[in-house]
Amino acid sequence: MKTLVIGGVAAGTKAAAKLKREDRSAEVTLLTKSREISYAGCGLPYYVGGLIETEEELIVNTPEKFAGLTGVQVLTGREAVGLDPERKSVHVKNLDDGTEEEYTYDNLILAVGASAIVPDVPGIRLPGVFQMRTPEDAQNMRSYMEEHEVRRAVVAGGGFIGLEIAENLHAKGIAVTVIDMAPQIMPNVLDPEMAAYAKRHLQKKGIRIQTGTALKAVLGGEKASGIQTDQGTIQSDMVVVSIGIRPNTAFLKDSGIKMDRGTIVVDGQMRTNLPDVYAAGDCVVVKNRITGKPQWSAMGSSANYEGRTLAQILAGKEKNYPGVLGTGVVKLPGMNVGRTGLTEVQAKEAGYDVETVLAVTDDKAHYYPDADSFATKMIADRTTHKLLGIQVLGAGAADKMTDIAATAIAMDARLEDLENLDLAYAPPFSTAIHPLVQAAYILENKISGEMVSMTPAEYAEGKAKGYKVVDVCPNPQIAGAFYVNLSSVNGPIDGLDKDEKLLLVCLKGKRSYFLQNRLKAYGYTNTVVLEGAQYFNDVKVEGGKFKVSPEDITRVKALGFLQDKRTEDCFNARVITRNGKITAEESRVIAEAAEKFGSGEITMTSRLTIEIQKVPYANIEPLREFLADAGLETGGTGSKVRPVVSCKGTTCQYGLIDTFHLSEVIHERFYHGYNQVKLPHKFKIAVGGCPNNCVKPDLNDLGIIGQRVPAVDLSRCRGCKVCQVENNCPIHVARMEDGKIRIDGSQCNHCGRCVGKCPFGAVNTETEGYRVYIGGRWGKKVAHGRALERVFTSEEEVLDVVEKAILLFREQGITGERFADTIERLGFENVQSQLLSDELLERKQENLAAQKHLKGGATC
C-alpha cells in the first residue's frame, strides 16, 4: 500500500509517523514545500520574545532525523500544483530546479495547512513588515528587531497569535499597539464582555488596543515607519500582520474535491469526496463536537489528533474523529485566557436555552503566595443543565480550568456531574472546592432561582438603572452606595425598603450572594446580585463621592496619577511627552481629555511632562483608555527610569548637540525600553546642549552635556594686543600670557565659544562630543554630579554609558538609596571604571531577570 502525504508540519508528520508504526510494510512518502518539517509553529512568538533562545529549538525534527526515526521517505522543496484523482497522481513542482514531477498513490493524505493572509494594501511589502507563520518569519523578525533597534511596533490582528506576538514584543520593552477591525479582540473566541475585560487589562499593562480599526496602508519609504488606518495614523518601527490564515488549497481548484470557503470537507474518517483521498490539519473543516455543525479549527493540537486518528483508520482500525470544541489558551502579560465549547452567542445561535454566570473565585488558597483570581464565564443549557462552554481569565492555571471543562463537555456532562468531582487540591495548586466546581455551584443556584443576579453584559447595557446600589464589601468601597455590614445583618435593614430594587455589590460576588440569602429570609423581594462584582465591573453611583483608600492612592500613583491634596478624590494625571514635544493632534487630544475627564486645566511639570488637573478617581481608567487610543500614556512615577528632560539645544545659539534627537532616543530606549525594570529609586536623566546647564544636567542622576574641546596652535598665534579668543571666553580661562594665548584645560568647560574666533586660526576644535555626569541630585539633599573622565565622541557611546549606569544602579544599588548614594558608597573611581568597561552589558540579562527592588524608594 503506497501512501502519499502532502504537507510536513503537524498533521502530515503525525499521520505519516503513526501509519508506519501501525503498519511497518506501508510505503509512506511525505512531500513538503518547506525546507523544514515538524517545526513548532505555536512557539514562534516566544522565539521572537527570546524565551526560546535558538532557532534550533523550534525544529522538532529535521527531515533526515524524521526519516531515520520513522522510515518515512521525506522530500523537501516540493510544491503540489495539481491533483488528478482519476490517475491517482499529484503534480509537483521541484523548487530546486523548477522541474515538474508526478507522484502516484494508493492513498493520499492532504495536510497542506494554511498560510498567513497578506492584505492587499499599499506598503505591505516594505522591509519591517512581517507575518508569523514559519520559523523563517520568526527569525527574520527577531533579526530585524535587533538590527534596527525597534522601539515601537504595531500588530494588526487581535486573535491568539497577534496577542501572543504583542505579549512577547512588550516583554522586550517595545511599545506595542494592537489593532483589529472587529469591535473586540479575540472575536468568535470570547464573548464581548470577556474580551472587553481582557482589553482593559492589556491597556493597563501598557499595550495599546484599538478595535474597530482597519489597516489601510503601511507607511514608509525605504522601510516601514507606521500604518494608516481608517481611524488615523500610528507611528511604528515595525508592523506585524496577523489578521488570519487561508488554507493552502488553491492547487485543488480543478480536482473536483469538495470544499467549504477554501477548506477541504471531510467526514468522521477524515475522508474527502474523492476516492482514497483524505485530509487533516489546518486545511480541513471538521465538525463541532457539541452541535455537529461544520467548524474550522486551525490548531496544532487538533491537527495532531486528526493526523493520528487518520493513520489508525488507514491501518484498518475502527476509529472516528469526533470533532472539535475550539479549545484554546493564550498567555498575556499578567493574565492567561482559556476557552472551550460554545460562547454565549454561539450557543444561542445553535438553539440552546442558554444560561450563563460570571464567577470570580480564588485560583488557589488565598493565603498562599501569588494567589490570584479567576473570572470564569460558564455557559449551560437551562433546561438540561448540559455544560456548553467556558471562558476563563486569570493569572493562574487557566489551561487547567479550560481542560477540565473540555473533558466534561466531551463526556456530555451536566452541571450536577461537576458538583463532587474529586479534583486535586493543595494550597499551591487550587482551592479546597475547585474553582471550576465553584462556578458550577453558582450557575446551578442561578438556574434554580436560589440566586437572582445580573450579568456584567446586562450591567454594561444599563439594566441596573433604577436600582439602589448596596455596598457589601468588608469596608465601604463604592462611592455613593448604601453600605451594609454583612456580619451585623440579623433582620430588616433601616434605610432599605423590602420591595425596593436593590443591586448587591461586593468585591467578587460571594458576600453579595450571602446578603441576598439573608434578605430573602427577612422578606426582601427585589434583590439582585451583580455577577463579577467590582472585580469585573466598573461600578459607579451617580453623584457618589468617597475618600480614596491609601492603597488606591499608592496604586494609581504608579500609573502617573498624583493626588491633589486639596481634594479627597481628585488626581493630577501625568501625560508623558517626548521631552515636552507632542504633535498638534496629540495636543488636541490632551485638551479634550482635560475637559472631558478633569478640570479643563493643563500644567507642565519641571521635567516637561504634561499634567491634566483634578481628575476624579472614577475617571482615571476612562482617561487612560481615551489617551491610549491616541497613542498617549500616563506614568513617570515610581522607582524607575523617569521621562527624559533636555534644553532646546537644537534651536539655542549656544547648542552644540541635537538635544531633541538625543533625548527622544533615550526616552524610547530607556524610559519605554526599561519601563518594567524596577530600580532602587527613581533615576532621572537630563540632556544639556552646552555647558550653560539650563536644565541642570549635573543635578540629575545622570546628565549629558554637549562639548566642544578647543585646541590651541601656538604657531598661529600672533600675540595680538586685543585677543578675540580671550574676549569671547565667557568664563575667562582663555588668557594671553607672555604674548601667547593659553587655555587652562582643567578649568575650561568646553563651551566652544572661542573656537574659530582667532582670525589667524590659532584656536580650532580638537574634539566634539558629550560629557557624562553621574550622581547629581536636587531636593532635600543636593548633590552635584561628577563628570566621567572621557569626552564621548559618538551617540552610541553615550547610550551605552546610560544603559550601564542604569544596570549598575539596579545591580549594586540598595533599595531606597539614590544613585548619588550608591556612587558615594562604592566610590566614584570604582563606578567610573565599571561604566567605561563592558562587563555590565555582558551580564545584562541576568541582572534584569533578578527579582530585585520589588518595592523601591521613590515616593513621587
In a domain, 639, yes or no: no
d(CA 758, CA 764): 9
For residue 780, the cross-strand partners are none
**Residue pLDDT, tens place only, 276-318:** 999 999 999 999 999 999 999 999 999 999 999 999 999 999 9
User: Mean of the pLDDT values across residues 414-437?
Assistant: 96
CATH number, residue 361: 3.50.50.60
With respect to residue 856, please indicate whether it lies within any of the assigned structural domains: no
**Average pLDDT for 644-662:** 87
pLDDT tens-digit series, residues 231-244: 888 889 999 999 99
List the helix and strand counts (H, then E) for the chain.
Answer: 24, 45
Bridge-based pairing of strands 570-575 and 335-341 is: unpaired
pLDDT value of residue 206: 80
Q: Does residue 781 share a domain with residue 818?
A: yes
Residues 778 and 668 in one domain: yes
Query: Do 432 and 291 fall into the same domain?
Result: no
Same domain? 288 vs 426: no
Q: Tell the burial category of 478 from Cβ atoms under 10 Å away from its Cβ (0-12, 13-18, 19+).
A: buried
Integer Cα distance of 269 and 320 in angstroms: 5
> Is 537:456 a contact under the CB 8 Å cutoff?
yes
- Average pLDDT (500-515) is 96
Q: Show Cβ contacts of residue 692 under 8 Å, excluding neighbours closer than 6 positions.
A: 647, 654, 751
Q: In whole angstroms, give the CA distance from residue 377 to residue 355.
A: 10
**d(Cα 178, Cα 191) in Å, to the nearest integer?**
19
Residue 855 lies in a domain: no
Percent of the chain with pLDDT over 70: 99
Residues 6+ apart with CB under 8 A from 583: none
Query: Do 38 and 164 share a domain, yes or no?
Result: no
Measure the CA–CA gap between 67 and 511, rounded to whole angstroms: 61
Q: Residue 296 falls within a domain, yes or no?
A: yes
Quick check: 577 and 627 in contact, CB under 8 A?
no
Which CATH number fits the domain that encloses residue 715?
A: 3.30.413.10
**Mean pLDDT throughout 146-154?**
91
Q: What residues are paired with 770 via a beta bridge?
A: 706, 792
Q: So what's the pLDDT on residue 34?
A: 87
Between CA 546 and CA 685 the distance in angstroms is 38
Percent share of the chain, pLDDT over 90: 79
Residue 593: name the closest of 632, 535, 638, 556 by CA: 632
Average pLDDT score over residue span 641-656? 87
Residue 625 has pLDDT above 90, yes or no: no
User: Does the model's pTM come out above 0.85?
Assistant: no
**Three cell numbers, residue 324:** 472539535
Q: What's 621's DSSP letter?
A: H
Same domain, 827 and 730: yes
Regarding beta strands 152-156 and 175-180, do their DSSP bridges make them parallel or antiparallel, or are they unpaired?
A: parallel
**DSSP strands (E only) in 313-419:** 328-332, 335-341, 354-362, 373-381, 387-394
- Report pLDDT for 609: 86
Distance CA(699)–CA(477), nearest Å, equals 42
**Does residue 708 belong to any structural domain of this protein?**
yes
Predicted local distance difference test score (pLDDT) of residue 177: 92
**Strand 685-688 to strand 740-743: parallel, antiparallel, or no bridges (unpaired)?**
unpaired
- One domain for residues 531 and 578: no
pLDDT of residue 156 exceeding 90, the answer is yes
| Alpha helices (runs of H) in 641-742, residue ranges in sequence order | 659-666, 724-728
Distance CA 256, CA 269 (A): 19
Residues with catalytic function: 42
Which residue segment(s) compose the domain that 281 sits in?
2-115+247-314
For 254, counting Cβ atoms within 10 Å of its Cβ (0-12 exposed, 13-18 middle, 19+ buried), the class is exposed
Does residue 690 share a domain with residue 821?
yes
Q: Looking at 507-657, list the stretches that DSSP marks H as alpha helix, in order from N- to C-terminal side.
A: 510-521, 533-536, 550-557, 584-597, 620-628
HSE (side-chain half, CA atoms, 13 Å) at 101: 16
pLDDT of residue 326: 95
Cβ 536 vs Cβ 198: under 8 Å: no
What average pLDDT score do residues 639-651 get? Answer: 87
DSSP letters for 415-437: HHHHTT------TTT--SS-HHH
Check whether residue 305 and residue 348 sit in a common domain: no
Q: Which three cell numbers stand for residue 575?
A: 501625560
pLDDT in tens, 38-63: 777 788 888 888 888 887 787 778 89
Cell (9 digits) for 748: 575650561
Which pLDDT does position 546 carry in this prediction?
Answer: 62
Residue 225: other Cβ atoms inside 10 A: 19
721 and 746 belong to one structural domain: yes
Is residue 104 within a helix (H) or strand (E), and if so which, with residue range?
A: strand 100-104
Does residue 545 form part of some domain?
Answer: no
Provide the edge-to-edge strand list for the sheet that holds 78-84: 78-84, 89-94, 100-104
The predicted-structure confidence for 673-691, as pLDDT tens digits, reads as follows 898 899 999 999 999 999 9
- Confidence (pLDDT) at 607: 81
**Cell numbers that stand for 419 in this block:** 458538583
Distance CA 631, CA 175 (A): 10
Which residues lie across from 504 on neighbouring strands?
470, 529
User: Which of 498, 514, 536 is the endpoint of a domain?
Assistant: 536
pLDDT at 272: 98
Helix (H) or strand (E) holding 140: helix 135-147
Cell numbers standing for residue 693:
546647564
How does residue 545 score in pLDDT terms, banded at 50, 70 and 90?
low
Helix then strand then coil, in percent of the chain rounded to 5, is: 30, 25, 45
Whether 737 shows a pLDDT value over 80: the answer reads yes
Which pLDDT belongs to residue 231?
A: 84
Please say which residue of 536, 558, 593 terminates a domain.
536
429/461 same-domain check: no
- pLDDT (tens digit per residue) in 446-495: 999 999 999 999 999 999 999 999 999 998 888 789 999 999 999 999 99
Give pLDDT tens digits for 835-849: 999 999 999 999 998
Mean pLDDT of all residues in the chain?
A: 93
266 shares a domain with 232: no
Q: Label residue 111 by pLDDT band (50, 70, 90).
A: very high
Distance between CA 708 and CA 839 in Å, rounded? Answer: 29
The per-residue pLDDT for range 804-836, each reduced to its tens digit, is: 999 999 999 999 999 999 999 999 999 999 999
Which cell numbers hold the place of 69? 526515526
Q: What is the pLDDT of residues 348-383, one digit of tens each?
A: 999 999 999 999 999 999 999 889 999 999 999 999
Say how many domains are in the chain: 6
Please say which residue of 433, 448, 463 terminates a domain: 448
The pLDDT, as a whole number, for residue 544 is 64
